[in-house]
Amino acid sequence: MNQFKHSGHLSHILLLTLLALTTFLLTGCSQNQHRRIVRIGHNQSVNHPTHIALTAFQDYINHNLGDRYIVEVYPSELLGSQTDMVQLTQTGAIDYCIASNAILETFSKNYEIFNLPYLFASADSYHHAMDDPQITDPIFTATQKAGFTAVTWLDAGTRNFYTVKKPIESPSDLKGLKIRVQQSPTNIEMMRLLGGSATPMGFGDVYTALQSNIIDGAENNEMALTDNGHGDVCKYYSYDMHQMVPDILIGNNAFIQGLPEEDRVVFEEGYRLINQIQRKEWIKAVDTAREKAASQQKVRFLYPDQAPFVKACAPLHHTVLENNPNIRPIYDAIQQYNQLYPTITE
Ligand code: GCU
């Protein structure tokens, strides 16, 4: 069952309604008669850590600033795919959305860095780097011209290959297989280097594509198996651990910058809350997903030697750094965290 598939017609009507509402609200706001509705879209289910964290943000803002704002959270691609939602955030039709870092590299090359395979030596290194504003600020603020800014990050675990029929034990097993990747040039190049055939598509289309044999597999964290049902179709999940790609909460610039100072402080506290709650929930959610995938969906977890995967992907680091020397200091700072936290702990 694909709970994320939505009819184009329905989403069209939804968007039109939304735009009409936005116009109404903007007029209302200027007359100070209405509370400002703040809309946040994301593509996960209501059980997902991301939704739980955004709901906490909703409660926090509604509790502290409820006389001026009403936060509404739209899960499950109700407002369209992540790419659709980024565009809606750019234009201000909605105020925030969660986008995978993967798709943001088409808005600023700086985002390419977090899409690099085997960038982080461990989950600890990843978390410390993502918590360091010296690393994230130059990236999070790189999309000023595109109309949005990143306000915090969320954990999306480690991405691994999973397949319908053929277990992946080494890169050579990917040969001839069509593997869904996110819509990002870095991911497409990663698949090319690993020898598979990259099939970029939105998250909501993956289940049907797997089920109808349009693709042979995909790559994602463990929650995709359970929360998105991919483990009903794919019975092999291989811990090659090729990426730790964060999810990013982005906000419309005009909205964020237009917030009065005293409100901005509360919103910023709210962003911190999202990050803290989501990460705490994430640890529990991954454990539950692994357990459920193994016991109920009968997914087999495999632990291939990572070395050949790392070796095959290595050229991508050079390419990305050569194409964008601006990110070299960030890359070097991440290497320092890798030295401090070298062990894979998750
Ligand atoms: C993860 C991630 C999402 C992303 C999805 C994908 O679930 O959290 O933000 O959209 O992967 O592979 O597209």
Domains of the chain from N-terminus onward: 13-155+245-286 (3.40.190.170), 159-244+292-340 (3.40.190.170)
Q: Ligand 1, residues 180, 203, 206: which to mutate, most atoms within 8 A of Cβ?
A: 203
pTM: 0.92
Q: Which residues fall within 8 angstroms of residue 21, CB to CB, at 6 or more apart? A: 37
Report residue 329 as tokens: 């200091």
Ligand 1 closest atom vs CA 224: 7
- Which pLDDT band, with edges at 50, 70 and 90, does 2 fall under? very low
How many angstroms is it from 16 CA to the middle of ligand 1?
Answer: 26
CB 159, CB 245: distance < 8 Å:
yes
Residue ranges lining ligand 1, Cβ < 6 Å: 43, 82, 100, 156, 182, 203, 220, 224, 247
Give the model confidence (pLDDT) of 82-139 as tens digits: 999 999 999 999 999 999 999 999 999 999 999 999 999 999 999 999 999 999 999 9
Identity (one letter) of the amino acid at 203?
F
Reduced to 3 states (helix: H, G, I; strand: E, B; else coil), residue 79 is coil
18-31 exposure pattern, b = at least 16 Cβ within 10 A, e = fewer: beeebeebeeeeee
Report residue 199 as tokens: 């099939």
Instruction: Give the pairing type, strands 236-243 and 300-302.
Output: parallel
**Has residue 30 got a pLDDT over 60?**
no
CB 51, CB 42: distance < 8 Å:
yes
Question: What pLDDT score was predicted for residue 15?
Answer: 56
Instruction: Give the pairing type, strands 148-154 and 96-100.
Output: unpaired
The residue behind tokens 């600033």 is 65
What span, in angstroms and rounded, lies between the C-alpha atoms of 246 and 178?
24
Nearest CA to ligand 1 atom 13: 203
Identity (one letter) of the amino acid at 106?
T
What is the strand order of the sheet 148-154 is part of? 69-74, 36-41, 96-100, 247-252, 148-154
Give the model confidence (pLDDT) of 167-221 as tens digits: 999 999 999 999 999 999 999 999 999 999 999 999 999 999 999 999 999 999 9
Q: Ligand 1, residues 40, 43, 76: which to mutate, most atoms within 8 A of Cβ?
A: 43
Question: What pLDDT score was predicted for residue 18?
Answer: 55
Ligand 1 closest atom vs CA 42: 9
For residue 30, which phi and psi values (nearest 5 degrees)? -65, -25
Rounded to an integer, the average pLDDT of 28-52 is 85
Reduced to 3 states (helix: H, G, I; strand: E, B; else coil), residue 44 is coil
